Amino acid sequence: MAQEIYSQEAALSPDINCCSSEPITTTRSVRSSRTFVNINDMRRVRDDMPWKLWVVALIAFWERAAFWGITGPWQNYMQHPPHYQEGQTPGALGLGQSMATRLYCAFYILYYTTPTIFAIVADSWLGHFKTLIISVAIYTLGCAALAVSSIPSQLDKGWGLPGLIVAMIMIALGGGGFRAIVIPFIADQYTEEKSIIKTLKSGEKVVTDRQLTLQYIYNLYFWVGNVGSLSWFLTVYLELHSGFTTAYVLCLVFMVVATIMLFIGQRWYIKPPHEGNVLPAATKIITCACRNGFKMANAQPEYQLAHRQRTVSWTGQLVDEVTRGLKACRVLIAFIVFYVCFDQMQNNLISQNAQMETNGTPNDLVGAMNQVGCIIFAPLIQEVLYPFLHRRRIYLRPVTRITIGFCFVASSMLYATLIQHFIYTSGEVKINVWIATPLYFLLAIGEVFAVVTAMEYAYDHSPKDMKAVVQAVSLLIAGVGSAVAMALTPAAHDPLMVAFYGSLTGVMVLTTIIFYIIFRHYDGFVTNDEEEPAVRSPSQVQSGADVNEGAVGVFLHGNTVSGATPVEAKKLADVEIKSIV
């Protein structure tokens, strides 16, 4: 059934629709007319980005620059001995490949698991912004510890490994906390809840879509972070020509800049009010569901009263929100295998690069092509592919996008398998290291589709007061992937690497197939925000009364949508008409 909105007065807006390639002219005049709008036939577009969101994205840029600038040289820093000669791979601690890989994986396990602590503190006690400040402070101290302990004189005194461990712990704590909180924090800067109908200069009417806007926000966050990660190129160059200390001091400067920006802008950031700790209630709901047949519906207050003669302290709305959050966590579990494959880029693939002809290129520099790929393909996918599909009314839902990402990651592991085979069979003739570039591009495309969607999905499906906790669960799943990767390190050695990468390829393909079979029906679900916009009569809007669930008309900016059923009315209620002439 066509859904039509009737309006006698269309309010005009100076907003600019950046999702469309067609320019919009604006005016402050208002035209009175009888306007019918069929939103079913409208193309959906993203909304505009507030400036505060761009500032938070810039802070994330500096944090990612520090993170990748530090971790980029780590494999060499740990694996190879110090006092290397010209032409040799730089090193500091001389721990060997296996031990260096274990430490690297252990860092990521800590990095992905400790955010749970910060998330609980943020959602139940201090709020997002204060916890973000604490995370950044710990992070900066960790960078300082690494820079000091990497000084050659300190390495000679044996402080290199203890300093590295202290730095790893602090960076994992601060960086993990930052990651879990900044992801919901950046989306919090976008506060528009209503859809807005706009008319392009071409005459086409489009409607802004919050889901597409969130998708753009996290693509922006992902892209900006990858631009920051280009510091990898700089730090591995400094590692080779100036030493590790210079590289790590630069990363310390990056975090100082991020800290200053966070403090200076605190008066302007959107900081949602902390409305109490819902974690105990959520825990009780899950426990209640487990005791009643492991069905979340059985935790509803109505069910408990009717079947258990028990009055519970939580609301049905909170049960629905927790249920959605648990569904999101189920979807994210599949990322365990994804991160096992992704972690190869941080260790074993660096060692693979060292087996090829580098012609003076640092072996840990080639992996930065992953960031280059993210920078190239993220805007192409967001600004070219998605609009191309949207103009044809094709909207890729989250599970579909994640599945596409998984396919690309599986392809990257297949490519690594082929490279390793050529390394073993080429004999004395080494293949050029840059032949590995497509591998990192495949990983990059996989990240754009899967990782960005995971952030969006976790934010959109988490309870209002548990945003950081659900993001922390997402990072925890990544930590499990790192733990599995660490458990596989005994098998990651020559001459078994072809079988190693081949096995990862097979497992990733199997995961992709199973994931899509199990969760493809989730793409048919619509979030609560889309299902249940507020429906109020004119008198209710003026008085601030609660939503009338039985309303058959929708009051919209002083106008009534007539002829709508209750279901249609609920779907149309929060659409704001803005006619640009």
Q: What is the CA radius of gyration of the chain?
A: 26
Give residues with Cβ within 8 angstroms of 211, minimum separation 6.
460, 527, 530
Q: Are residue 80 and residue 167 in the same domain, yes or no?
A: yes
Position 355 in a domain: yes
**Alpha-helical segments (H) within 277-315:** 279-291, 301-308
The token pair at 538 is 């004119």
**Which of the listed residues 226, 248, 273 is the one where a domain comes to its end?**
273
- Specify if 97 maps to a domain: yes
> What pLDDT shows up at residue 91?
85
Per-residue pLDDT of the chain (581 residues; tens, 9 = 90+): 333 333 333 333 333 344 444 443 333 333 334 444 567 778 888 888 889 999 999 999 999 999 989 988 888 889 888 866 666 778 888 888 788 878 887 888 888 888 888 888 888 788 889 999 999 999 999 999 999 999 988 888 888 899 999 999 999 999 988 988 998 899 989 888 888 888 878 888 888 888 889 999 999 999 999 899 889 888 988 888 888 999 999 999 999 999 999 999 888 898 877 666 777 888 899 999 998 888 899 999 999 999 888 898 888 888 988 888 888 888 989 899 999 999 898 778 988 988 898 888 878 778 878 888 999 999 999 999 999 998 888 999 999 999 999 999 999 999 999 999 999 998 788 889 999 999 999 999 999 999 999 998 888 888 777 788 888 888 888 888 878 887 888 888 889 999 999 999 999 999 999 999 999 988 875 443 343 333 233 333 334 444 333 333 333 333 333 334 444 444 444 444 443 32
List helix spans (H) across 189-268: 210-228, 231-241, 244-264
457 part of a folded domain:
yes
CA separation for the pair 131, 143 (Å, rounded)? 19
Tokens standing for residue 371: 């960031």
Instruction: Judge whether 115 lies within some domain.
Output: yes
Residues 247 and 346 in one domain: no
Same domain, 265 and 370: no
For residues 358 and 468, state if they share a domain: yes
Classify residue 22: in a domain, yes or no. Answer: no
The domain tally of the chain equals 2
Same domain membership, residue 120 and residue 47: yes
Q: Is residue 438 part of a domain?
A: yes
Per the CB < 8 A criterion, the answer to whether 47 and 194 are in contact is no
* β pairing state of 195-199 and 43-45: unpaired
The CA distances from residue 484 to 112, 516, 564, in Å, are: 13, 22, 54
Q: pLDDT tens digits for 522-550?
A: 887 544 334 333 323 333 333 444 433 33
Residue 457 CB-half CA count within 13 A:
27
Find the CATH number of the domain harbouring 65. 1.20.1250.20
With contact defined as beta carbons under 8 Å apart, do 549 and 542 qualify?
no
Q: At which of 249, 273, 297 does a domain end? A: 273
DSSP 67-86: HHHHHTTHHHHHHS-SSPPT
- Whether residue 368 is found in the same domain as residue 478: yes
How many residues are given for the chain?
A: 581
* Residue that is last in its domain, among 474, 493, 523: 523
Report yes or no on 130 lying in a domain.
yes
pLDDT score at 96? 86
**Same domain as 72, residue 158:** yes
Question: What per-residue confidence (pLDDT) applies to 86?
Answer: 62
Burial class (CB in 10 A: 0-12, 13-18, 19+), 294: exposed
**Measured between alpha carbons, how far is 157 from 143 in angstroms, rounded to an integer?**
20
pTM of structure: 0.75
What are the φ and ψ backbone dihedral angles of 499, each rounded to 5 degrees?
-65, -35
Q: Same domain for 238 and 369? A: no
Is 16 inside a domain boundary? no
Q: 201 is in which domain, residue-wise?
A: 43-273
Q: What is the 3-state secondary structure (H, E, C) of 20-52?
A: CCCCCCCCCCCEEEEEEEEHHHCEEECCCCCHH
| Residue-level pLDDT at 545 | 41
51 and 151 share a domain?
yes
DSSP 131-200: HHHHHHHHHHHHHHHHHHHTSHHHHHTT-HHHHHHHHHHHHHHHHHHHHHHHHHHHHHT----SEEEEE-
Task: Verify that 486 and 343 share a domain, yes or no.
Answer: yes
Asked if residue 368 and residue 225 are part of one domain, the reply reads no
Instruction: Please state, in angstroms and rounded to a whole number, the distance separating the CA atoms of residues 247 and 12.
Output: 52
157 with 55, same domain: the answer is yes
